[in-house]
Amino acid sequence: AQKVTQAQTEISVVEKEDVTLDCVYETRDTTYYLFWYKQPPSGELVFLIRRNSFDEQNEISGRYSWNFQKSTSSFNFTITASQVVDSAVYFCALSDTSNYQLIWGAGTKLIIKP
Partner 1 sequence: GAGVSQSPSNKVTEKGKDVELRCDPISGHTALYWYRQSLGQGLEFLIYFQGNSAPDKSGLPSDRFSAERTGGSVSTLTIQRTQQEDSAVYLCASSLAHGQGKADTQYFGPGTRLTVL
What residue ranges bind partner 1 (CB under 8 A)? 31-33, 35, 37, 42-47, 50, 91, 95-98, 100-102, 104-107
28 burial type by CB count under 10 A (0-12 exposed, 13-18 middle, 19+ buried): exposed
Shortest Å distance, C-beta 10 to partner 1: 11
14, 99, 100 from 22: Cα distances, Å: 18, 24, 23
Nearer to partner 1, 35 or 68 (CB): 35
Shortest Å distance, C-beta 91 to partner 1: 7
Q: Is 107 left (phi over 0), alpha (psi -120 to 50) or beta?
A: left
Shortest Å distance, C-beta 93 to partner 1: 8
Nearer to partner 1, 39 or 73 (CB): 39
Shortest Å distance, C-beta 25 to partner 1: 14
Distance CA 51, CA 58 (A): 10
Amino acid at 19: V
Nearer to partner 1, 31 or 58 (CB): 31
